[in-house]
Structure 1
């Protein structure tokens, strides 16, 4: 008769543990790349905003940074100007509009900011330091201090030409020197000042 006792203990069966694969249990790097999070969401929105701004800048609006004092005191050196590229597709430039234009005859295609003083078909005369349009003296209330408007001369504009000048007449290279500007050189209209402070051009 075998009286031996089996003392071996049967191995216990360990139930498999479920692994939590929810977003909350993953590493911060995994969540950053795949699962969202504040930084990821902000990055996505930033990229989206930059893409939208790039499209707007290409097709509709842009920012022009003033370099120089030719439009002082209306615009000063370093001002950031918000301007429209397509505003003249359906409307004609008007007297008093502040425009962004390419410098006529400049192979570098440098961009300038000036004010329209004369319209197509008009006679522009500068004498005695004043501007005359069709022999009538022009009241230029946007010039806030006394400045001379030399050199003098007479220009008769064609059906596609505009006479442009800077508000700071003694320190502006404009139509008095390079002549009237064809409409093809006009790139758009200044809408508002972004920096140093927002201000509509109509209030300037």
Structure 2
């Protein structure tokens, strides 16, 4: 069977059709890349600057860190996660970076300079100093269904954490995200543990 040659008009129509298909594929790919970029930046690229020494030595004053806002939308905060929390209900309320020590339903107590969760001593690998001030946790604090107990890593020089009534117990809505990476200064670039 012999193939009938295409006319100039048909060839031009075929060429335009192929160009439109390629342009559509290119635009679809570009749209996907832009959407993924926006998703990554909005979920993993939220930057915040550390403005105190409360998380020493893990984080230092003027470290720039990235927050993962999405991880707690699909899962729950875990013990020892370093998180950014908003104290207050306004968008302008202060934001602190602290470490989660107690989880919902647990009882946190600080006695003899050590942290106990449900009467079991918790090993604090980020600081081995004896805790000098137990604050409200001296008698034990039982957390509700959606509550977390947070602590500064430099707990003897800073007390702006759940030991104070002014900060208190944190609920999940106050947690802005997990601090996962130091991006500046470059000499401290790395993951946060």
- The two structures have a TM-score, normalised by structure 2, of 0.71
Residue of structure 1 aligned with 2:56, choices 68, 72, 85: 72
**2:150 corresponding residue in structure 1:** 164
**1:195 corresponding residue in structure 2:** 184
Cα distance, 1:194–1:144 mapped onto 2, change above 3 Å: farther
Per-residue CA deviations over 1:91-113 (Å, capped at 9, x if unaligned) read: 11000000011014678321110
Give RMSD over aligned pairs: 2.5
Once the two structures are TM-superposed, the CA of residue 56 in structure 1 deviates from its matched residue by: 4.8
Q: CA separation in 1, counterparts of 2:130 and 2:58?
A: 14
Once the two structures are TM-superposed, the CA of residue 159 in structure 1 deviates from its matched residue by: 0.8
Residue 176, structure 1, aligned to residue 163, structure 2: yes
TM alignment of 1:12-161, pairs within 5 A? 56-104=40-88, 108-143=92-127, 145=129, 147-151=131-135, 152-161=138-147
Structure 1 runs of 4+ with >2 Å offset = 52-61, 104-108, 144-153
**2:27 corresponding residue in structure 1:** none
Cα distance, 1:147–1:157 mapped onto 2, change above 3 Å: closer
Q: CA separation in 1, counterparts of 2:128 and 2:111?
A: 20
Q: Which runs of 5+ in 1 are unaligned?
A: 1-51
Mapped contact 1:102–1:111 kept (Cα < 8 A): yes
Q: CA separation in 2, counterparts of 1:149 and 1:96?
A: 20
Per-residue CA deviations over 1:60-85 (Å, capped at 9, x if unaligned) read: 42111000011011101011111111
Q: Which runs of 5+ in 2 are unaligned?
A: 1-35
**Structure with more contact order per residue of length (Cα contacts < 8 Å, sep ≥ 6):** 2
Mapped contact 2:109–2:139 kept (Cα < 8 A): yes
Larger Rg: 1
Mapped contact 1:73–1:144 kept (Cα < 8 A): no
